[in-house]
Amino acid sequence: MEIKQSVCNYCSLGCNFDFYVKDNEIKKVVPTEGYPVNDGFACIKGLELDEQCTKYGSPNRPLIKDEAGNFQEISWNEAFDTFVTKMEAIQEEYGKKSAAFISTGQITTEEMALLGHIGRTHMGMNGDGNTRCCMATSVVAHKQSFGFDAPPYTLNDLELSDTIIFIGANPVVAHPIVWDRVKKNNDSTVISIDPRKSETASNSDMWIDIKPKTDLRLLYTLANLLIERDWIDQEYIAEYTEDFAGFKEHVKKYTLEDVTEKTGISRQQVLELAETIYQGERVSFWWTMGVNQGHQAVRTAQAIINLAAMTGNIGKPGTGPNSLTGQCNAMGSRVYSNTAGLYGGRSYSNLADRKKVANILDIDPEMIPKKGTIPYNEIVDGINKGEIKALWIIATNPRHSWANNEEFKRAIDNLDFFVVQDLYPDTETSELCDLFLPSVPAIKKEGTLINTERRVSAVTPVLDKEEDELSDYDIFYGIGQALDTTDSLDNWKTPKDAFELMKECSAGMPCDMTGIDYNQLVGSKGVQWPFRENEELERDQRRLYEDGEYFTETGKMKFIYEDIAEKPELQTEEFPYIFNSGRGTVGQWHTETRNREMELVEMSSLTEAYVYINPKLAQELDIKQNDKVLISSTNGQQREFTAKLSDTVQNDQLYAPIHYIETNALTPSVFDPYSKEPAYKYVCVNVEKIAE
């Protein structure tokens, strides 16, 4: 039996597994011992990677819709020709920007890079990723505060911390290995800031039951308290940061006076929290979607960064303002997808960067766009305004997952040509397309993924592809070859070629990976960037900013702050409750196209959309366990849910898992002004029992 080590392509932890393979069949999946992320542990999703595409998989060949609306199989060459002919005709008539793509954080770095090359450089499209729904806030926060989108930590910091503060993060469900590592750390105080008594809050030492979307006020109040009491690291501030004086002045107005009224947290608790941060020797802050998905999300993320920096909790073991990523290759998409930024974290607007990349790719610099893509929401708006006529979706299911998802359906109905590239032809999005391009799952792919702590890990083809099966890489390459272009794509022939190009683009940048040997990555412990050519790898856990050097022009971390904005809407008599949404259970993954293949998850998950309601509220509304309720949102939509009574949600709030299409029917089209990330987690609704 052959043992092949590869990486899990669900969440951003990037656990490694040993796949035992015989006669092109996976016999056993075992978490890799000694791998720095998961060291012999894993969650149910990774353990069932062998189930991928066994029950529902795709046809090997592409599908095209006939006049009657039924899919018909065609050859790959026909599919590539159709793709290119239709896209080029539309672009000819309406301009290059009348075609767009929306991609993902769930394909390999090499695939992302090639897609960026084909879609943006060659075809001149706009193209964004579903990472806009997820990480865009952290990206902007990092760029502005640190000068580069580089999350500072290594996961080992969880074990080295004496005070671990989760903000809008539920790792018990969403990042199980993070929680495992918290449990390994016996000497820490764990705090969870969440409006809901999430699985993580329930298992923490302290639950801060904050009112939804008031984190910024809490964080500014904490900063003010720490400054007033001189519980800060003056030396660090003076040496390594800039504009602390402005920040100090700014937070003066955020006092204990009205903190309880505004955030729902008692003064005593706020004080206790400030004291805990002060007394902690190694304090780490970990945030995810409860922060990133909000109407003032970037500033909230930066308030966390400010708090960590002013208390000297950055660049040292067990510290950090640490944003956890979501999807397996969110980090790859952030630096190598050629969408919002140019390869290697470079800038489209910088002529020297464009020339450098053109030189590496051996193309005319004029081919490289001079600015980043328009964001996801503007692509959807552009379709609805009739400016964008063709859309290509890769490895995401936006008919289900996009905020206010009926808007997305409306957009699809407006398109002249709609292409979906997925594992399955029956996702909510795939079934609406004109042309379906099937890819094999990651167990048949080659390339790399970059995890939440910047660790590059090898995707090894565990199984061989069957006849006519193509990976996303092969599909992009096929489209590239069908294009009428002078670029032969000769330097992009294989995933390894793409990796070598990206390595060159990364040279001298904070995400430098010129020291990584593609072949040696297989079966290794992975490598965190930066890792420069000729550098010795002394440790397999490395963090950034250990020397206090940031990537800003001044080399200092910037304090960034702003007045607190009005909430986009307030609870009214008509819409008195706040509708929050997020992950349901460990086994469930987003729109559930993949985890429906997993028997254990299928058996244990509910098939119908459900919502958590506080028992007291339920009683007031005469709602009993498992009653059907109708939820009406301020966005004009109403959907039916099954009521689950639970005191984990507060009396004026509801919580719905995102794994059911009903949830995003109700979410708003509200975005952070800087990151354009949807504010999924806050919308005002009403709920009523549906008469039997």
Ligand X SMILES: Nc1nc2c(c(=O)[nH]1)N[C@H]1C(S)=C(S)[C@@H](COP(=O)(O)OP(=O)(O)OC[C@H]3O[C@@H](n4cnc5c(=O)[nH]c(N)nc54)[C@H](O)[C@@H]3O)O[C@H]1N2
Give the binding range for ligand X (CB under 6 A) out of 65-73, 551-559, 564-572, 657-665: 657-665
Q: Is the peptide bond before 530 cis (omega within 30 degrees of 0)?
A: yes
| 124-155 core/surface letters (b: 16 or more CB in 10 A; e: else) | ebbbbbbbbbbbbbbbbbbbbbbbbbbbbbbb
Q: Does 134 bind Mo ion (CB under 5 A)?
A: yes
Helix (H, G, I), strand (E, B) or coil at 354: helix
Closest separation in Å from C-beta 100 to ligand X = 16
Site string for ligand SF4, 42-61 (x = CB under 6 A): xx-xx---------------
Contacts to ligand SF4 from residues 502-561, by CB under 6 A? none
Residue nearer to Mo ion on the CB measure, 166 or 436: 166
Q: Does 318 bind Mo ion (CB under 5 A)?
A: no
Q: Does 594 bind ligand X (CB under 6 A)?
A: yes
Q: Please give the Cα distance from 161 to 181 (Å, whole number).
A: 11
Q: Does 10 bind ligand SF4 (CB under 6 A)?
A: yes
Site string for ligand SF4, 168-207 (x = CB under 6 A): --------xx------------------------------
Site string for ligand X, 602-641 (x = CB under 6 A): ----------------------------------------
Closest separation in Å from C-beta 607 to ligand SF4 = 22
Q: Does 326 bind Mo ion (CB under 5 A)?
A: yes
Name the packing angle between helices 297-310 and 136-146 (round to 10°).
40
Please, what's the largest Cα pairwise distance for the chain?
Answer: 72
Residue nearer to ligand X on the CB measure, 161 or 421: 421
Instruction: Name, in order, each residue with C-beta under 8 angstroms of 79's C-beta and a sequence gap of 6 or more.
Output: 61, 62, 64, 435, 437
Strand order across the beta sheet in which 163-167 lies: 206-208, 189-193, 163-167, 283-287, 320-323
Q: Does 155 bind ligand SF4 (CB under 6 A)?
A: no
Q: Does 450 bind ligand SF4 (CB under 6 A)?
A: no
Closest separation in Å from C-beta 665 to ligand X = 10
Closest separation in Å from C-beta 529 to ligand SF4 = 19
Provide the token pair at 137.
Answer: 């806030």
Site string for ligand X, 360-399 (x = CB under 6 A): ----------------------------------xxxxx-
Q: How many CB atoms lie within 10 A of CB 676?
A: 19
Q: Does 665 bind ligand X (CB under 6 A)?
A: no
Give the alpha-carbon dihedral of 31, 104, 112, 359, to 10 degrees: -130
Q: Please give the Cα distance from 173 to 171 (Å, whole number).
A: 5
Q: Which residue has the tokens 């955030």?
A: 263
Q: Does 11 bind ligand SF4 (CB under 6 A)?
A: yes
Q: Please give the Cα distance from 246 to 548 (Å, whole number).
A: 20
Applying CB under 6 A, the site for ligand SF4 has a residue count of 13
CA angle 526, 530, 536 (to 5 degrees): 75
CA 126 vs CA 102, 177, 268, 669, 678: distances in Å: 9, 36, 50, 20, 19
Q: Does 658 bind Mo ion (CB under 5 A)?
A: no
User: Do 2 and 20 meet the contact criterion of CB atoms below 8 Å apart?
Assistant: yes
Which residues here bind ligand X, judged by CB under 6 A?
11, 104, 106-107, 130, 133-134, 167-170, 173-175, 193-196, 198, 210, 212-213, 215, 288-290, 293, 326-327, 394-398, 400-401, 421-424, 427, 439, 441-442, 472, 580-583, 586, 588-591, 593-594, 658, 663-664, 667, 680-681
Which residues here bind ligand SF4, judged by CB under 6 A?
8, 10-11, 13-15, 38, 42-43, 45-46, 176-177
